[in-house]
Structure 1
Amino acid sequence: MDARIAGRSALALGLARRKCTVTTIPQHTRTLVERLLEAYCARICPPTARNTVLIGYRIAQDHAVIHELRRICGVQGTCLPSPVARFRYRHATQDWAFDYFEESPERTGSWRRYTPLRHSRSFIELLREFDLDPVGHFWGRLDGKSLRWCSVKGRCMECDVRYKHVLGLAVSIDSSTDNQRVYRSVTP
């Protein structure tokens, strides 16, 4: 009888250890990431594309995913999320890993490590890399390239400053003449 109880408590101890190994995003960090992604996904460029192409996000236990919301058979109000980028929180090192989603011909796909910037302690640094997309893993695959650029010449000045404000690359300048908030780019 004692052996059975000891076996059960060892099993319970093993399960408790496994539960402790599950990494979760700390609550404060999760709140900050949620606010950043909310602001980033709301800045669709140009605003006229807001009803045709949507990007969104979801936050799970240990990662955040940015996805494109694609209409199902073109029917308004129906959307299917298509993953684009994943930011994984690694509790052991207290940093973020960065992945992109690669679709296969069979309509399945897998996450691949983004090699130019594999991980960072700063979530916003990875979000900036996602926005820049120097390798073309993210924005080249979205149906609405208008999310990235206002025209073939690139982002307009107004949209560029709005994105830079969300990414922490623009600072607010108080305009005393017309009481409007103006932003100045602070990129090097």
Structure 2
Amino acid sequence: MKTVSFTQMKDGTKEDYDLLAEAEKPFHVATADRILAELKRQGEDTMTGYKITRMEHGLQSATRALREGADIDWVVGALLHDIGDGLAPQNHDRFSAEVIRPFVRDEVAWVVEHHGIFQMLYYAKHYNWDENARDRFKDHPHFQACADFCERWDQASFDPDYKSETLETFEPMVREVFDRKAYDPAVIQESVSTGLPKLAK
């Protein structure tokens, strides 16, 4: 296999970087495969102390989103909001957000990035932490979407009796999202807030 000429990036030529761009294309195309493989891996381990696996938590969250009529960005965001747990348990929310950020609306990436601090509303008091730490974002345009995401889809999805959709249901959505052009302004829609779907009365 042909390789670059340099041993330090600063010495690379245009030909070197053209070679790398071409060589990386198959790796980029396989991003969805790696995401799905990580979800399957998370299905092998029960979250420490919880009644379900990490994958099942993602499936339940995504199923709730799907059944409420959420669009593909929200559904995939809900499915992958904890994808970073395995490698970055202390900052999994930010890690997970960076995985999806190039391919979904800015609103969805922001919500995934901040869901950890918003979730503290439900448990922080038991550790003598600030359960209202999320209030520092109260003027942010995505505040309500994140609060709703946590209340309706995330914190409610630890139920071993909930009948969620299978991973196969969501696989085409994951592939569609990760097949998008990275950072496409038409997809990212910075500063656009649509919120979660309205609940039926």
Structure with greater proportional strand content: 1
Structure with greater proportional helix content: 2
Fold conserved (TM > 0.5)?
no
TM (norm. structure 2) is 0.28
Higher relative contact order (CA 8 A, sep 6+): 2
